[in-house]
Amino acid sequence: MRKVLLIMALSVTLAGTGARANPFFETWDTPFGVPPFDRITIADFQPAFMQGMADQKAEVEAIAEDPDPATFANTIEALDASGSLLRRVGAVFGCLNGTMTDDRMQAVARDLAPLRSKHRDEILLNGKLFARVDAVYRQRDDLNLDREQQRLLEETWKRFVRGGAKLSDQDKEKLKELNQELSLLSLKFGENVLKETNRFEYVIEDETELDGLPDGVIAAAAETAAERGHQGRWVFTIQKPSLIPFLQYSTDRQARRRMLTAYAQKGNHGDELDNNDILARMVVLRTERAHLLGFDSHAAYVLDDNMAKTPDAVYKLLDEVWWPALKKAKAEAAELQTMIDQEGGRFQLEPWDWWYYAEKLKKQQYDLDESMLRPYFELESVRAGLFETVHRLYGLTFAPRPDLPVWHPDVKAYEVKDRDGSTVAIWYSDYFPRASKRGGAWMDALRKEYHDGDRRVIPVIYNVGNFTKPTAGEPSLLSVDEVKTMFHEFGHALHGMLSDCRYQSLSGTSVARDFVELPSQVMENWALEPEVLDLYARHYKTGARIPQELVARIKASGHFNQGFETAEYVAASYLDMDWHTLTDTTPRVPADFEKTSLERIGLIPQIIVRYRSPYFQHIFSGGYSAGYYSYLWAEVLDADAFAAFKETGDIFDPATAQAFRENILERGGGEDPMVLYKRFRGREPSITPLLERRGLAD
């Protein structure tokens, strides 16, 4: 702490002697007040965080010590508005640490993690402050609050209680220690996964070892080799755009085994990047914290604030999908084994064979494979189709803004306008992998939407992906999964961009974890609809539209491999729940625990769980602990919601789109999510559309 205070003091001294000003301490004169990425340096973050925490601490103390009786305005609204500098620096740091990280950024994150955790705890554990919050809460039925105000009051009170406000002083100190250690372990877990991913490379020197791989995949591997100092060779990595095509097309079975094994063993080598001790410790700490707060398990604590409410409800949903999915996966495995046998293979199907033979079987059954589709899915065309889809649904238009500062040359910025020409939001995309970016795809906000008096402050939203990069010979040509991911993450972006809430803590994606995936997953439904494919699926060389017979084959193959895809995902959801329904604090050996978990549900050996524990970032460094099931929970909602469009006979039906916008996208966390859903749909959702979509219905 003394070191941090010295740094802060030094920054103040330098500022006073004419040194370069910290941009976080200035009003941003950029268009729309977006972050001036061209002026922000790593050195700016630590002093800005420290000042931001100091500012909010002073604001919170003023609220707590206010001699006037507690009211909704002077306590609840004042709390929501506090911490503007901290919110601003935290949003920019989160963006850059996820997309442009290096050892220096990670060091800043590690230094600040316990301080930020301590700062949050000191607010939530402030006895005088909670007394005022509680006083307002106890008057809630007499305050004539509207729906959003009621929700803000309820959520604020709940956040304090769930944050330990009712604990004894001794237990409050214990909670602070648990939270600080967890914050550091979570950071370390994610750093290790990134470093593991970056350090693996499969270098090929003999061209014959490229047999079966498409030209575009080979060209990308050659460029990766040149970037990594292996000129004249080919390098494959365990980044998904490199790994998946290799598994689909390489005829070298041992090479496929090497690649998949490298991916599946991330964080599991017993070296400095091993995550087993970290995750085992995190599970113990989470269980201790749950007990401290009056819950049997971490899952019980998390789910109490979600739509699911209880672990039993989650397991019930998983069971409803798992058993038909497992049955289908076993049938798929038998089909693939038959193909192997017919080709004269003298081996049993293994996980590194599944992608390869599934691609061959898809070609055989539907005359369809990934290499046939990619030429029609050029990234810029897909993006244009996505924009047109959203325009037809919600009336939005997207104007490129190359004048806005960005954090990397790959990033593109857009001004988003509504039907009436008003600016709704600013949106950035950052779509290609690089060593400084963590894996996966996500959405976040550089500034959340809120109201300043009668003025709606527009949000600044961004999407990140790790899609197939362009090469010297061809543009970025996406896989079907990458197309669906682009639509998915843009659904999250719409949730942030179209938000129309007064309060930042309720706006955009500030909703229950198992509701937040509804806007994203529902957008996936449009991606491969024939009417939407007609908007964007053009051959990147000829400009020809995707042939209708190819569209028909895509539709016909919609249930292909769904046993595999559903089983690997649901198995990971069970694993997450099993880790977090533990009720005792005995440390577990992750490999043994994982084996028992997957054997209990009967996962077949030909399928590897989508995320093994040592690299399961969603639950150990990504905020989805006891929540990975939420994609499935939300899929029940999204399949039912898209059925509302289908029932009209028009997937762009204006009335249905407007109802979804007004009741879901604009409302954020302003009301209970099931209330919002029922207002849109007129009833609770049914699981039947989900089972039918995945081909799992009887």
Q: Which pTM value belongs to this model? A: 0.94
For 492, counting Cβ atoms within 10 Å of its Cβ (0-12 exposed, 13-18 middle, 19+ buried), the class is: buried
CA angle centred on 588, ends 582 and 594, rounded to 5°: 85
Sign of the CA dihedral 621, 626, 630, 631? Answer: positive
Do 242 and 350 sit in the same domain of this protein?
no
Q: What is the pLDDT of residue 19?
A: 67
Do 404 and 537 sit in the same domain of this protein?
yes
User: Looking at the predicted structure, is the pLDDT value of residue 164 above 60?
Assistant: yes
Q: What is the pLDDT of residue 695?
A: 86
Q: What is the pLDDT of residue 693?
A: 86
Q: Cα separation of 560 and 366, whole Å?
A: 10
Neighbours of 409 (CB within 10 A): 6
CATH code (residue 329): 1.10.1370.10
Arithmetic mean of pLDDT, 621-647: 95
Token pair, residue 255, equals 């090479």
Q: What is the pLDDT of residue 691?
A: 86
Do 157 and 59 sit in the same domain of this protein?
yes
User: Looking at the predicted structure, is the pLDDT value of residue 542 above 70?
Assistant: yes
Do 213 and 327 sit in the same domain of this protein?
no
CATH code (residue 463): 1.10.1370.40
Bridge partners, 414 (sequence order): 400, 427
Q: For 355-384, how does the pLDDT look when each residue is reduced to its tens digit (9 = 90+)?
A: 999 999 999 999 999 999 999 999 999 999
Q: Cα separation of 438 and 441, whole Å?
A: 9
In a domain, 4, yes or no: no
Q: For 403-419, how does the pLDDT look when each residue is reduced to its tens digit (9 = 90+)?
A: 999 999 999 999 999 99
Arithmetic mean of pLDDT, 226-233: 96
Last residue of a domain, one of 143, 166, 189: 166
Do 454 and 490 sit in the same domain of this protein?
yes
Q: For 315-341, how does the pLDDT look when each residue is reduced to its tens digit (9 = 90+)?
A: 999 999 999 999 999 999 999 999 999
The domain in which residue 65 lies consists of 23-166
Q: What percent of the chain lies above the pLDDT cut of 70?
A: 97
Q: Cα separation of 118 and 342, whole Å?
A: 63
Strand 460-464 versus strand 442-447 pairing type: antiparallel
In a domain, 481, yes or no: yes
In a domain, 172, yes or no: no
Q: What percent of the chain lies above the pLDDT cut of 90?
A: 95
Token pair, residue 570, equals 């649901």
In a domain, 176, yes or no: no
Residue 430 has φ and ψ, to the nearest 5°, of: -140, 95
Q: For 420-460, how does the pLDDT look when each residue is reduced to its tens digit (9 = 90+)?
A: 999 999 999 999 999 999 999 999 999 999 999 999 999 99
In a domain, 178, yes or no: no
Do 133 and 204 sit in the same domain of this protein?
no
User: Looking at the predicted structure, is the pLDDT value of residue 7 above 90?
Assistant: no
Do 418 and 482 sit in the same domain of this protein?
yes
The beta-strand segments (E) located in 213-350 are 234-236
Last residue of a domain, one of 598, 628, 658: 628
Do 217 and 336 sit in the same domain of this protein?
no
Do 324 and 312 sit in the same domain of this protein?
yes
Do 609 and 635 sit in the same domain of this protein?
no
Bridge partners, 444 (sequence order): 462
Q: For 32-67, how does the pLDDT look when each residue is reduced to its tens digit (9 = 90+)?
A: 999 999 999 999 999 999 999 999 999 999 999 999
In a domain, 16, yes or no: no
Arithmetic mean of pLDDT, 169-177: 98
Total structural domains within the chain: 4
3-state helix, strand, coil in the chain (%, to 5): 60, 5, 35
Q: For 287-307, how does the pLDDT look when each residue is reduced to its tens digit (9 = 90+)?
A: 999 999 999 999 999 999 999
Q: What is the pLDDT of residue 10?
A: 35
In a domain, 590, yes or no: yes
Q: For 241-299, how does the pLDDT look when each residue is reduced to its tens digit (9 = 90+)?
A: 999 999 999 999 999 999 999 999 999 999 999 999 999 999 999 999 999 999 999 99
Q: Cα separation of 448 and 33, whole Å?
A: 12
Q: Cα separation of 81 and 457, whole Å?
A: 13
Q: What is the pLDDT of residue 16?
A: 37
Which of the residues are catalytic?
489
Q: Cα separation of 60 and 55, whole Å?
A: 9
Residue 202 has φ and ψ, to the nearest 5°, of: -110, 105
Arithmetic mean of pLDDT, 493-505: 98
Bridge partners, 427 (sequence order): 414, 461
Last residue of a domain, one of 240, 264, 288: 264
DSSP 321-374: HHHHHHHHHHHHHHHHHHHHHHTT--S---HHHHHHHHHHHHHHHHS--HHHHG
- If you count them, how many residues does the chain have? 698
In a domain, 7, yes or no: no
Do 478 and 522 sit in the same domain of this protein?
yes
Q: Which residues of 584-618 are buried (b: 16+ CB within 10 A; e: fewer)?
A: eeeebebeebbeebbeebebbebbbbbbbbbbbbb
Do 127 and 150 sit in the same domain of this protein?
yes
What is the signed CA dihedral for 431, 569, 637, 478, rounded to 10 degrees?
30
